[in-house]
Structures are given as structure tokens and as C-alpha cells.
Amino acid sequence: MRKLIKFYNSWFLLLLICVPVFAEPPYSGTVFLDSGILTIDDPSTLVQVIATGVGSRQMFDRRANNGAGAFIALEALLFNAFYADGETIEIQVNPEFESSDAQVKANIYGHTIGQLPALLRIDVQTVWIHKGDKPFGGGNNNILIHTESPGYHGEWLEETIYHEACHTSLDSRLANSAQWLNAQSLDGEFISTYARDNPAREDVAESCLIHFALRNYPDRICAAARSLIESTIPNRLAVLDAMAIKAIVESDRYASFDGPAQRRK
């Protein structure tokens, strides 16, 4: 019996060593941590939005396919958004909007996207805008917007767009990289339960918004929150610091650590 107990004790200790035990995350999600991380009055690089007519486009709509979401072919209202750093993004608006309203929507969201760092727009080629109370989305070289989703509009709009742009431009470069996975392991914690429950899909986006706040607007987060964030994910913050430096000094602005980025499908 003593040998059996000793065996199980040894097995349990080995399990503790080999299986990481993560602490409880401090937040449920970082988009709604503070609505003042980014504000409508922050500077935007948007220069102008020009209507270019109507064209056939494949656009993902979360309302399609009985709410499951699907790509649909539309004769979309098209706009080009021009930014001061030379970027141009095509904004595609569902024809359920009147043309004048579509122009207003293109300018509103074009302005918010212009508040993003250039490195978060590097893979944003298009924007899809629909009506409907559905979540925003990032990926596919695109930002997806549903204009009747109240939780993502108003005071939370800028933070939501930032989160989705992280999906579009960072996930393919970071989420499965050796540097990020090592940082996850070293930190031993996740910043939010949303990141913890979706580590491959949400950890980068959940971390990058608060990294931006800490490095650019630290006064917009209380001292206690700053300390908590820095002590929870210090290694992830260091990885994002390194990428930000590379973005400044290298012409491609957001080079991959592990080779050329693979665009999300």
C-alpha cells in the first residue's frame, strides 16, 4: 500500500510539473476594460473618403444563412478611404443603406480606422458594412461591421475596431509564433477569460489593445490596473514592444518573427 501511495504521489507531482497551471484572469475581456483607452477625439490619419460607384463584391454577413453567417454577393456601394501614410482601403457598404447614409457610415468608420497605428492597417484591404445587431469581426484582410450592434458602438467603438484590427494584422504573425507561445508559457496567466478560453484565437487581440494603452496613453488607465496588467502578462508585453520597434525601423512596418506572414482565410 505504501508503495502504491508513493507511486500516485510521484505521478501527481509529475503531472503538476508537466501541465501548466494558469492563474484566474483579472478581466473577462479587454475591449470593455475602459471606454477611454481610445476616444473619438484622438487624431486620425484619414485624409478623405471618395465614393467610387457600385460594384459586385463578396461580403460576409453574419445575418445570412439563418444567422450562422455566410459570404453573399452584393452590388455594394463602394468608397476609397485615403490615409496620410499612403494607405488606401476600400469600404464596401451593403446596398440596404441609402447612398447618402452609406457615405456617412464610410466616413465614420474610415475615421476610426485611421486612429489605428499604421501597423494594424497593414493587412486591412477592405471594410464590410452591414445593418444588423451582430458582432464585429476581423480577418480576411478585412474589418466586418454591423451598425446596429449597440455593445460595439458609441463609447466602445474605437476599442472594438482596434481589437478586430489586431485579428486582421497580427494573428497570422503572432498567435502561433514561437515567441508568443513562449511568452504565454512564461507569463503563466491570461489577461482575460476570453483569451484563456480561446488562446489561439483571442489572446493576441486581447493583449494588444492594453499594450497600446500602456505604451501610448498610460494616464488613461488607473495605476492599479497598469500594475495588474504589467504583472500579469509581462512577457507578452515584451513581445509586442519588440514588434512595435521593428515596425518603426523596418520598411515593411510589421515584419513577421517567423518569416513572411500568412494571411488569414
Determine which of 43-47, 185-189, 259-263 has the lowest per-residue pLDDT on average: 259-263
Q: Residue 8 is placed in which grid cell?
A: 500516485
Rounded to whole angstroms, how far apart are CA atoms 255 and 101?
Answer: 38
Tell me the average pLDDT across 32-56.
Answer: 94
Question: b/e map of 158-176 (b: 16 or more CB within 10 Å)?
Answer: bbbbbbbbbbbbbbbbbbe
Q: Which has the closest alpha carbon to 146: 87, 49, 64? A: 64
pLDDT reported for residue 16: 35
Residue 61 has pLDDT above 90, yes or no: yes
Q: What is the pLDDT of residues 106-146, one digit of tens each?
A: 999 999 999 999 989 999 999 999 999 999 999 999 999 99
Q: What is the pLDDT of residues 64-92, one digit of tens each?
A: 999 999 999 999 999 999 999 999 999 99
Q: Which has the closest alpha carbon to 204: 183, 226, 188, 227? A: 183
Confidence of residue 245 (pLDDT cuts 50, 70, 90): confident
Confidence of residue 22 (pLDDT cuts 50, 70, 90): low
pLDDT > 90 in the chain, percent:
77
What's the predicted TM-score (pTM) here? 0.85
Tell me the average pLDDT across 145-173.
Answer: 92
Residue 153 has pLDDT above 90, yes or no: no
Residue 46 has pLDDT above 50, yes or no: yes
Domain ranges of the chain: 46-168, 171-249
Tell me the average pLDDT across 227-251.
Answer: 85
pLDDT reported for residue 180: 97
Q: What is the DSSP annotation of 41-98?
A: TS---EEEEEEEEEEEEEEEETTTTTTT-EEEEEEEEEEEEEETTS-EEEEEE-TTS-
pLDDT reported for residue 155: 85
pLDDT reported for residue 265: 27
| Averaged confidence pLDDT in the chain | 87
Per the listing, cell 469600404 goes with 91
What stretches of the chain adopt beta strand conformation (E)? 46-61, 70-83, 88-93, 126-130, 137-139, 142-146
